[in-house]
Amino acid sequence: MKIDSTNLEGVLHIKPKVFGDARGFFLETYNKERYMDAGFPNVDFVQDNHSRSGKDVLRGLHFQINNPQGKLVQVVTGSVFDVAVDIRVGSPTFGQWYGSVLSEENHHQLWIPPQFAHGFCVLSESADFLYKCTDYYRPDDESGLLWSDPKVAIEWPLKEPLLSAKDQALPCLSDIDTSLLPDY
C-alpha cells in the first residue's frame, strides 16, 4: 500500500496493494494496523455507507457542523471524480480543493478528515461509492457549500451535473457564517 499526501494537509490519497491474477483480484480495503503503519491517522469508524448514482450525478459538497465526519471513500463499480475542500478557518489552504478519479479499475481511496467538505460526480454510467465514517450522519447537523462556487473554482469534469434540490440551494463558502466552520 502507498499513502500519498495531497496539497491539503490531512487529506490522503491511498493506493492499496492489489493481488490479481486470471481469476480476479483481492485487496484489503481497510486494516487499521497496516494503514496506521503506512501513515494513516488513528481513527475509529462508526458507520459504513453505500451510495449508487447514475452518470453525471453530483453529490455535495457536504459537511456536518457539530459532529463532523472523517470519511475513507472508495468506488467499487464505475468511476467518480472525488473532491475534498478545506473549510478550516485560518488554514493556509482555506477554500482550496483536491480532486482525484476513484474507480473500480484503480482501487484508489481518499481520506477526507472531519474538517473538510466532500463531494463527488459520477463519470461512468453508474457508480457504487463506499465510505467509512468517523461519526454518525445527523441530518439536522448537515451543511454544505455550492459545487460551483467560483472562488473555490473546482475543475469538475462535467458542466451540467444532475443535482438534488438541496445541493442546488447550497451557499458559496464566502456566504457561510465562519462560526459554523471548523477552526484550523
- Any idea which fold 2-180 has? Jelly Rolls (2.60.120)
| Whole-number Å distance between alpha carbons of 26 and 17 | 9
- Of the residues 107, 118, 131, 184, only one is catalytic, namely 131
Q: What DSSP state is assigned to residue 115?
A: T
Chain segment 114-143, per-residue pLDDT in tens: 999 999 999 999 999 999 999 999 999 999
pLDDT in tens, 23-73: 999 999 999 999 999 999 999 999 999 999 999 999 999 999 999 999 999
Catalytic residue from among 13, 35, 62, 108:
62
C-alpha cell at 93: 489552504
Question: Is 136 a catalytic site residue?
Answer: no
Coil, helix or strand for 126? Answer: strand
Q: Based on the residue annotation, tell me whether 131 is a catalytic residue of this protein.
A: yes
Find out whether 170 and 180 touch, Cβ atoms under 8 Å. no
